[in-house]
Structure 1
Amino acid sequence: MSLLLAILIGLILGFIGGGGSILAVPLLVYVLGVKPVEATAYSLFIVGIASLFGAHKHYKLGNIDFKIGMMFAIPSFIGVFASRRWVLPNIQNELFVFGDFVITKDLFLMVFFALIMLLASFSMLRERSISKQTKDNQQIKIIIDGLFVGLITGMVGAGGGFLIVPALVLLSRLEMKKAIGTSLMIISIKSLFGFLGEWGSEIDWQLLISFTSLAVIGIFFGVYFSKFFDGKRLKKSFGVFVLLTAVVIMLKEFFIF
């Protein structure tokens, strides 16, 4: 089951330029028994490598805008590196105590991750209108969005494609296929840069390499089959799945012990 889900992560990344990585952390934590903090680090590597292969495929198809991609990527990998290097290590193991109920660092990360999943699902399910903006405002918003996505990526290990793709479409006026390809380039850069913050930590390389290899296989299929499927319908279906997964995580963390 875990092998199929690893392939599914790459498949979804290839289809819609994001979203698949949102499954990596729950899979690593609940199925493979990896601790949440380690799972967010592993997810950065898995998503970064898989997205790199996907970006290469999209590059050959002419679906990457490097200028806009780097405008988003530079503040993004600054955010993710800062988050992994300084923010996450300084979060205490026990944050709050309410009687017998203790909010630990692991619990906080999983609940925060579930909230990000809810945001992701709403982003995928909601139709966004395009507003008129000046070029300067667009560039400033892209930079701010890049920094924000980087911080979120560092905290929860998600690639952030569910935030990047809409931003590229709405702020940069990229067509959907170019937004997907550019998103994969951005995700690969910032995720791998964020993983560098874990260098020197104890890492289960055997698990990481085998899982990543399956995700890479999935992303090749995702990029190929994306030419034959309705992206909007697929995105909404996955949005529902992400929403349900977020609810399950909340229930598991608060009510199932």
Structure 2
Amino acid sequence: MSMTGFIASIFIGISLGLIGGGGSILTVPTLVYLFNISPLQATAYSLFIVGITSMIGSLSYFKKGLIHLKSSIIFGIPSIIAVFLTRSYLLPAIPLKIFSIGDFVATKDMLLLLFFAVLMIAASYSMIKRKQVPISEIQFNYPLILFQGIFIGVITGLIGAGGGFLMIPALVNLLKLPMKTAVGTSLLLISLNSLTGFVFSVPYLSIQWDFLLSITFIAIVGILIGSFLSTKIKGEKLKPIFGWFVLVMGIYIILKETLLS
């Protein structure tokens, strides 16, 4: 197993601990490109790694009273339903070979990675440019919250992304949660969504438990480091730097899968 992969696994946890999201954005590329795991398998592994790591990270926020349980229920129910439907029905329905043009063959694995790359680019923009909307300008909108929950659940189910970069703005802007409470609530929601998605994936996959547990352990060490650093460093200051890194990674994946493969 690659030492570079182990180092990247630590940063999966550090990202979750510092900014409450971004872990899955690192997890899938790490598994695919550094450990040579197939994209479909990588999405399932990502759900487990990010789910367990987020659950561990959420404990410190829970002890500090920085998790809003009502928000977790409002967001969590539609998200979990969407994860179940996506992993059980939508993902298996995608054909292994989608289309071919000459020597170019678009496969299911390629589609998942390209979708993931597009998501990375969207996430990078939100990290680099997004500004928090003043609380006085926000309306509490249940239909929009329901839509956000379903959307995040579909993304989690398809590509193993916890959706923290989408959850935190929604929790702050739609539910008016303070930033630290939004981060803690996001970690709880990521763990619920991700572990639910993994459970629904188990019947379809052969799991390498030794490998999966070792990477998960390293990511847990990372989130403990990140949670400690969050008391010293404001995660918001690091988001733009992380956003530029995610942007470069997203562009690289698109180029690799379409032009360099």
Give the TM interval when normalised to the shorter protein.
over 0.9
**In 1, Cα distance between equivalents of 2:199 and 2:130:** 36
**Aligned partner of residue 103 in structure 1, secondary structure:** strand
Task: State the secondary structure of the residue aligned to 1:158.
Answer: coil
Helix, strand or coil: the match of 1:49? helix
User: For residue 216 of structure 1, what is the amino acid of its counterpart?
Assistant: I
**TM-score when normalising by structure 2:** 0.95
The question of whether the paired residues in 1 share the 8 Å contact of 2:139 and 2:174 is answered with no
TM-score, length-normalised on structure 1?
Answer: 0.96
Cα distance in 1, alignment partners of residues 64 and 21 from structure 2: 18
Residue 177 of structure 2 aligns to a residue in which SS?
A: coil
Matched, 1:164 2:167: yes
How far apart, CA to CA, are the structure 1 residues paired with 2:139 and 2:55?
Answer: 32
Cα contact 2:20–2:187 (8 A) shared by 1: yes
Deviation (angstroms), 1:25 = 0.5
Equivalent position of 1:148 in the other structure: 151
- Correspondence 1:83-94 to 2 at 5 A: 83-94=86-97
Q: What's the counterpart of residue 243 of structure 2?
A: 239
After the TM superposition, which parts of structure 1 deviate over 4 Å for at least 4 consecutive aligned residues?
Answer: none
Amino acid at match of 1:142: I
Which of 220, 227, 245 does residue 216 from structure 1 map onto?
A: 220
Q: Does 1:3 align with 2:6?
A: yes
Aligned to 1:177: 180
Question: Cα 1:129–1:226, aligned 2, differ >3 Å: closer, same or farther?
Answer: closer
Q: How far is 1:118 from its partner?
A: 0.6
Are 2:222 and 1:250 equivalent residues in the alignment? no
2:211 matched to 1:194? no
Matches within 5 A, 1:43-192: 43-130=46-133, 132-135=137-140, 138-192=141-195
C-alpha distance 3-129 of structure 1, shift in aligned 2 (>3 A): closer
Residue 130 of structure 1, CA deviation: 2.2
Q: CA RMSD in A?
A: 1.2
1:230 deviates by 2.4
- 1:58–1:223 Cα contact (<8 Å) kept: no
Question: SS where residue 105 of structure 2 aligns?
Answer: strand
Mind listing any 5+ residue stretches in structure 2 that lack a counterpart? Answer: none
User: Quick check: 2:132–2:169 contact (8 Å CA) kept in 1?
Assistant: no
Give the Cα–Cα distance (whole angstroms) in 2 for the partners of residues 61 and 134 of structure 1.
27
Structure 1: runs of 5 or more not aligned? none
Partner secondary structure for residue 114 of structure 2? helix
Quick check: 2:138–2:173 contact (8 Å CA) kept in 1?
no
| Residue 139 of structure 1: how far off its partner (Å) | 2.1
Alignment size in residue pairs: 255
Corresponding letter in the other structure for 1:106: D
